[in-house]
């Protein structure tokens, strides 16, 4: 069952379906471009869901005909100072910081177009799905700008040559190409991208909440480390997880031949106060 949750917003819609939170970018008349309000409310919604004890995964999708066509250029002020421009774009990219630092995994569900900050959001999410026919690109050079912020998550999830091609050409690629390059996990039939993303989210939500929270943060940390140091650090993370109730009860249940279901994890019982 889908229910409204976690506050009221003007440019995003937030609801929950069981233990999965769903954020819909909701400026369809503007192709869900990142206005200051949308960027702020998306960031607030992500943080609110991440803070929610009952949310184990999040899906981000877009209303209307597109996922997001980038930054709302009607907010651009040609007479503003560099400091003002930096403050403006920093607000636009804050959701990328937030997703990276969250314990809750986030799945993008794109359709139509995901351009500029839209492709940046797809890249910033932990997993990504797009509908067949979706076009994705770092299109800012077409208007005299450059996808500086989206470059960071793109370089994090794509080989350098692939990311650089997107960033320097500004060309759009289709969903199948994006999947082949490694930007997407799934390409879904038209109209089924949200369901596919929800399936991924629900699959994660059935697993140990503590393992996913710790594991996501570990993956982000280890990805940028030297190989040997990363292995050493991974052992520290693993040892810490071994000391949790989720590990103790999860392993015991597995060895008894009856793995824990989604509602039986100790961390879930603590979160819900049971």
CATH number of the domain where residue 242 is located: 1.10.12
pLDDT at 269 over 60: no
pLDDT at 1 over 80: no
Asked whether residue 195 falls in the same domain as residue 213, the answer is no
- For residue 181, the domain's CATH number is 3.90.226.10
The overall longest dimension of the chain from CA atoms, in Å, is: 68
Q: Which of 177, 205, 233 is the last residue of a domain?
A: 205
pLDDT at 188 over 60: yes
pLDDT at 273 over 50: no
pLDDT confidence bin for 176, thresholds 50/70/90: very high
Residue 272: per-residue pLDDT: 47
Q: Residue length, the chain? A: 274
Q: What is the mean pLDDT of residues 144-167?
A: 96
pLDDT at 53 over 90: no
Asked whether residue 184 falls in the same domain as residue 220, the answer is no
Scored b (16 or more CB within 10 A) or e, 77-88 reads eeeeeeeeeeeb
Please write the tens of the pLDDT for every residue from 91-122: 999 999 999 999 999 999 999 999 999 999 99
3-state secondary structure of 224: coil
CA 43 and chain centroid, separation: 11
Asked whether residue 166 falls in the same domain as residue 220, the answer is no
Asked whether residue 165 falls in the same domain as residue 241, the answer is no
How does the average pLDDT of the chain come out, rounded?
Answer: 93
Q: Alpha-carbon distance 49 to 54, whole Å?
A: 9
Asked whether residue 165 falls in the same domain as residue 91, the answer is yes
Neighbours of 4 (CB within 10 A): 10
With contact defined as beta carbons under 8 Å apart, do 149 and 93 qualify? yes
pLDDT confidence bin for 79, thresholds 50/70/90: very high
Residue 274: per-residue pLDDT: 46
In the chain, the number of structural domains is 2
3-state secondary structure of 72: coil
Residue 265: domain span? 209-272
Q: What is the mean pLDDT of residues 124-134?
A: 98
Asked whether residue 150 falls in the same domain as residue 214, the answer is no
pLDDT confidence bin for 263, thresholds 50/70/90: confident
- Poorest-pLDDT segment among 89-93, 256-260, 262-266: 262-266
Asked whether residue 115 falls in the same domain as residue 231, the answer is no
Q: Alpha-carbon distance 134 to 63, whole Å?
A: 14
Asked whether residue 214 falls in the same domain as residue 145, the answer is no
Asked whether residue 184 falls in the same domain as residue 239, the answer is no
The percent of residues above 90 in pLDDT, for the chain, comes to 89
Sequence-separated (6 or more) residues with CB below 8 Å from residue 131:
110, 111, 112, 175, 187, 188, 189, 190, 191, 192, 193
Token code pair at residue 76 = 């651009």
Residue 7: per-residue pLDDT: 60
pLDDT at 218 over 60: yes
Q: Alpha-carbon distance 250 to 164, whole Å?
A: 43
Asked whether residue 125 falls in the same domain as residue 57, the answer is yes
* pTM beyond 0.95, yes or no: no
Asked whether residue 119 falls in the same domain as residue 181, the answer is yes
pLDDT at 169 over 60: yes
CA 237 and chain centroid, separation: 23
Residue 271: per-residue pLDDT: 52
pLDDT at 3 over 60: no
pLDDT confidence bin for 167, thresholds 50/70/90: very high
Token code pair at residue 141 = 């050079």
Token code pair at residue 20 = 């999965």
pLDDT at 155 over 90: yes
Residue 54: per-residue pLDDT: 87
Sequence-separated (6 or more) residues with CB below 8 Å from residue 9:
26, 41, 44, 45
pLDDT at 191 over 70: yes
Asked whether residue 232 falls in the same domain as residue 189, the answer is no
Q: Which of 187, 205, 223 is the last residue of a domain?
A: 205
DSSP codes, 103-171: SS-EEEEE-SEEETHHHHHHHHSSEEEEETT-EEE--GGGGT---HHHHHHHHHHS-HHHHHHHHHH--
Q: Which of 176, 205, 234 is the last residue of a domain?
A: 205
Residue 2: per-residue pLDDT: 42
Please write the tens of the pLDDT for every residue from 5-16: 446 899 999 999
């Amino acid at each position: 069952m889908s229910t409204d949750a976690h506050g009221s917003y003007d440019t995003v819609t937030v609801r929950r379906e069981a233990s999965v939170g769903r954020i819909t970018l909701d400026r369809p008349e503007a192709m869900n471009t990142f206005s200051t309000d949308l960027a702020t409310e998306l960031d607030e919604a992500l943080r609110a869901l991440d803070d929610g004890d009952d949310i184990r995964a999040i899906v981000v999708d877009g209303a209307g005909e597109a996922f997001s066509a980038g930054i709302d250029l009607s907010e651009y002020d040609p007479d503003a100072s560099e400091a003002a421009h930096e403050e403006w774009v920093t607000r636009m990219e804050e959701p990328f910081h937030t997703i990276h630092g969250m314990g809750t995994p986030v799945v993008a569900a794109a359709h139509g177009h995901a351009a500029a900050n839209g492709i940046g959001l797809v890249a910033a999410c932990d997993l990504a799905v797009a509908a067949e026919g979706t076009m994705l690109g770092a299109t800012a050079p077409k208007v005299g700008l450059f996808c500086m912020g989206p470059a960071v998550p793109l370089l994090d999830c794509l080989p350098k040559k692939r990311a650089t091609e997107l960033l320097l050409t500004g060309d759009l690629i289709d969903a199948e190409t994006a999947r082949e390059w490694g930007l997407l996990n799934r390409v879904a039939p038209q109209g089924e991208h949200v369901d596919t993303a929800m399936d991924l989210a629900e699959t994660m939500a059935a697993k140990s909440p503590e393992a996913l929270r710790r594991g996501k943060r570990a993956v982000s940390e280890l990805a940028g480390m030297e190989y040997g140091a990363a292995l050493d650090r991974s052992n520290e993370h693993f040892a810490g997880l071994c000391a949790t109730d989720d590990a103790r009860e999860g392993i015991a249940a597995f060895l008894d031949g009856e793995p824990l279901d989604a509602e039986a994890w100790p961390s879930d019982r603590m979160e819900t106060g049971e």
